Amino acid sequence: MSLTVIDEAHQAIAPTYAAILNALYSKRARNALLGLTATPGRSWADVGEDQKLSEFFDGQKVTLEVEGYDDPVTFLIDQKYLARPIFKTLNSQAGVELTDDDVRLLSADIDIPENILERLGDDTQRNLRIIAAAEDLLARHRRVIVFAPSVANARMLTAILAARGHEAFVVTGESNPPERDRIIRRFKSNDRNPMVLVNYGVLTTGFDAPGISAALIARPTRSLVLYSQMVGRATRGTRAGGNDEAEIVTVVDPDLPGFGSVAEAFKNWEDVWDERDDVG
């Protein structure tokens, strides 16, 4: 018998992942499949996608059960493997006006369309509030990560913060790999100088910088998975090389769906799983 293990298991039904897993899983007559994830779902509102993920794992979800705790996240925070998150919201009062086409796209797409995100990035008042919030965080934290709504906006926010005397860097999917590696090394260094790293489209998974103690989420999303991953960049606890507390500031745009806190994320998908065999 063999065992196939996939981390970030909420990605398992994506075509490329599913093809590889099916190939591995079918090689032997007796092969167990184990998926690991902090967010056992694909979306916030698309039950069909969440159901597909559940069916891929035969509807079986095993959850760490600790006596005296309602959920394992609280236990991990108390044990200092996770930082205690302090959630704050920043009302952007953005002036983006949604057209009828925008409303139709929002209702049909899994997440917020890129053209709406780009228009958000052009809103002057929204950007001023983001800059002020970033500077407020830099006054209290050594490492701050900002999730911008577009590539252009990430570059602009970085340029403004740098011009105002802060050590600021930008990383996007368009970044040159050697330059991106240099920036990340600098950001993850032990230098006591406060730094801010602004990014778009990257650094939500597979990026580990324990020194981050504050996240500014200026990229609205209707994906609870994506939101949880952005929050997770700042929530490494002291027993995992991180911090006691993490400050999470989420920019809330009045006319767009989004989240202000990830506190209920862990239990969001319970209705699509047949939970059993809890581990104590």
Which segments of the chain are extended strands (E)?
2-7, 31-36, 60-61, 84-91, 143-147, 167-172, 195-200, 214-217, 245-252, 274-275
Other beta carbons within 10 angstroms of residue 106's beta carbon come to: 17
Does residue 52 lie within any of the structural domains? no
* Long-range contacts of the stretch 49-53 (C-beta < 8 A, 24+): 49/13, 49/110, 50/269, 50/272, 51/272, 52/13, 53/10, 53/12, 53/13, 53/272
Question: Tokens 């899983």 belong to which residue?
Answer: 25
Residue 55 lies in a domain: no
For residues 199 and 146, the answer to whether their CB atoms sit within 8 Å is yes
- Residue 153 inside a domain? The answer is yes
Can you tell me the distance from the alpha carbon of 91 to that of 114, in angstroms, rounded to the nearest whole number? 21
Q: Could you write out the three-class secondary structure of 235-280?
A: CECHHHCCCCEEEEEEEECCCCCCCCCCCCHHHCCHHHCEECCCEC
Residue 9 is given by DSSP the state: G
The pLDDT of residue 51: 76
DSSP code at position 5: E
Q: Whole-angstrom Cα distance, residue 21 to residue 24?
A: 5
Domain encompassing residue 176: 83-252
Task: Name the nearest CA neighbour of 235 among 226, 246, 225, 221.
Answer: 246
Domain count, the chain: 1
Burial class of residue 142 (count of CB atoms within 10 Å of its CB; 0-12, 13-18, 19+): middle
Residue 186 forms part of a structural domain: yes
**CB atoms < 10 A from the CB of 148, how many?**
27
**Residue 139 domain-assigned (yes or no):** yes
CA distance 186 to 180: 10
The span from the CA of 125 to the CA of 158, in Å, is 16
pLDDT at position 26 is: 66
CATH number at residue 207: 3.40.50.300
List b or e across 110-127, with b for residues whose CB sees 16 or more CB atoms inside 10 angstroms: ebbeeebbebbbbbeebb
For residue 18, the model assigns a pLDDT of 78
Angle, CA 216 vertex, CA 212 and CA 220 arms, to 5°? 135
Tell whether 158 is covered by a domain: yes
Q: Which residues of the chain have pLDDT under 70?
A: 1, 25-29, 39, 41-49, 94-99, 102-110, 205-206, 257-280
Does some domain include residue 41? no
